[in-house]
Amino acid sequence: MQKVEVQLGERSYPINITHEFTSLLPELAAAAQVVIISNSVVAEHYLQSVISLFEQQPLHFLLPDGEAHKTLASFEQVLSFLLEQRMSRDLVLVALGGGVIGDLTGFVAACYQRGVRFVQIPTTLLSQVDSSVGGKTAVNHPLGKNMIGAFKQPEQVVINTAVLQTLPQREFAAGMAEVIKYGLLGDRQFIDWLLQHAEAIRQHDASILAQMIRHCCQMKADIVSRDETEQGERALLNLGHTFGHAIEAFMGYGTWLHGEAVAAGMMMAAKLAHSRGWLTAAEVEVCSTLLMAFDLPIAPPPTMSIHDFLPYMKADKKVKAGKMRFVLPTALGKSSVVADVTESELLQVFA
């Protein structure tokens, strides 16, 4: 088992990376009230194994599958279930699934009776390398992605890499977009490592996957430990997301997977950086080569013009004093938050 720690003082917690479901902290395994939140697809594969981790039989609540259900309506359904079952503040919630279930369950955990403990058991590559770590929780609104949420750290993250065997290929690729993001935002050596191990990753080599997931969790844990509530450095984790969130919302949640939208968004960020002289054409090509190695899109949907992006980008959570802010690569493997991108520059670069 590999272990990464998110260092947040009294709220520090472990991320355990194994190839089975066995590393639950004893105080969580012994909890008197446990409710597992999952969806129908994931539950069919893994619900029974996760139930057996607990000393007393937990309850479970299953949502329909998909990003389209990461809504206030689902949030309310889960809360109603917990109230109907008379769950108290001793409750431990368990998020068993990908980022959709993790984000929604975390938001319920932040709000139910003003906050209860929760555990993340992420089952997609994306959620294992990114969304289960760091305590960002949210639901979507038709007017914007992740617009309603809270910071709520889990008590533990339990990563079982074996579950990736049942993950559809398209979902695995979407997770690779967030993996590549770590290299592009701040780790040139990791870009080289990914290029070198692309074939092994595509073949799901267990040891290489475990190394890769651990590296991403360590990078995220370090950033979150330094800047939990995104006052500065944590914003770098949103590389590609300002463009990406616009794609997801414009196309209809679930049409483009989050990771696919982030991949296209990172290429748009790279092109903007190139037009500013920060990336060479060859470096932009390294970005596209890496994304294409995992069958990810390198351009936005052909039906979307830059005019379609603008309303979403102007409502982005990074906007400050009415100014759009973008995370852009300033070199290959380095990035920065940039506040001086204007509408006319965007129109010029992406016309």
| Residues known to be catalytic | 114, 136, 178, 220, 230, 234, 238, 241, 245, 258
Binding of residue 106 to ligand GLY (CB under 6 A): no
Q: How far is the CB of 129 from ligand GLY (least distance, A)?
A: 10
Binding of residue 140 to ligand GLY (CB under 6 A): no
Q: How far is the CB of 98 from ligand NAD (least distance, A)?
A: 2
Contact stretch for ligand GLY (CB under 6 A) within 114-122, 130-138, 149-157, 278-286: 130-138
Nearer to ligand NAD (CB atom), residue 98 or residue 333: 98
Nearer to ligand NAD (CB atom), residue 33 or residue 128: 128
- Contact present, 226 and 237 (Cβ < 8 Å): no
- Interface residue with ligand GLY among 60, 188, 204, 234 (CB under 6 A) is 234
Which chain residues interact with ligand NAD by CB under 6 A? 39, 41-42, 45, 65-67, 70, 97-101, 103, 123-124, 126-127, 130-131, 134, 136, 146, 163, 166-167, 171, 174, 258-259
Give how far Cα 74 sits from Cα of 33, 113, 126, 311, Å. Answer: 21, 17, 21, 26
Supply 194's token pair: 């990914």
Binding of residue 125 to ligand GLY (CB under 6 A): no
Handedness of CA 151, 37, 164, 29 (dihedral sign): positive
Q: How far is the CB of 87 from ligand NAD (least distance, A)?
A: 23
CA-wise closest residue to 126 among 81, 170, 174: 174
Nearer to ligand GLY (CB atom), residue 127 or residue 156: 127
Q: Nearest residue by C-beta to ligand GLY?
A: 237
Four-CA torsion 337, 234, 317, 71, nearest 10 degrees: 150
Give how far Cα 292 sits from Cα of 31, 135, 169, 268, 296, Å. Answer: 45, 30, 14, 15, 5
Nearer to ligand GLY (CB atom), residue 153 or residue 160: 153
Supply 14's token pair: 């472990």
Interacting partner of 238 out of ligand NAD, ligand GLY, none (Cβ under 5 to 8 A depending on kind): ligand GLY
Q: How far is the CB of 181 from ligand GLY (least distance, A)?
A: 9
The contacts found for 278-286 with CB under 8 angstroms, 24 or more apart, are: 278/328, 278/329, 278/330, 278/331, 279/329, 279/331, 279/332, 283/329, 283/331, 283/332, 286/191, 286/195, 286/332
Nearer to ligand GLY (CB atom), residue 43 or residue 269: 269
Q: Please identify which residue in the block is written with the tokens 């105080």.
A: 27
Q: How far is the CB of 107 from ligand GLY (least distance, A)?
A: 14
Nearer to ligand NAD (CB atom), residue 40 or residue 88: 40
Pairing of strands 144-151, 156-160: unpaired
Binding of residue 120 to ligand GLY (CB under 6 A): no
* β-strand partners of 118: 93
Q: How far is the CB of 24 from ligand GLY (least distance, A)?
A: 23
In whole angstroms, what is the distance from residue 147 CA to residue 248 CA?
13
- Contact present, 277 and 270 (Cβ < 8 Å): no
Q: Contact residues for ligand GLY (CB under 6 A)?
A: 130, 134, 136, 234, 237-238
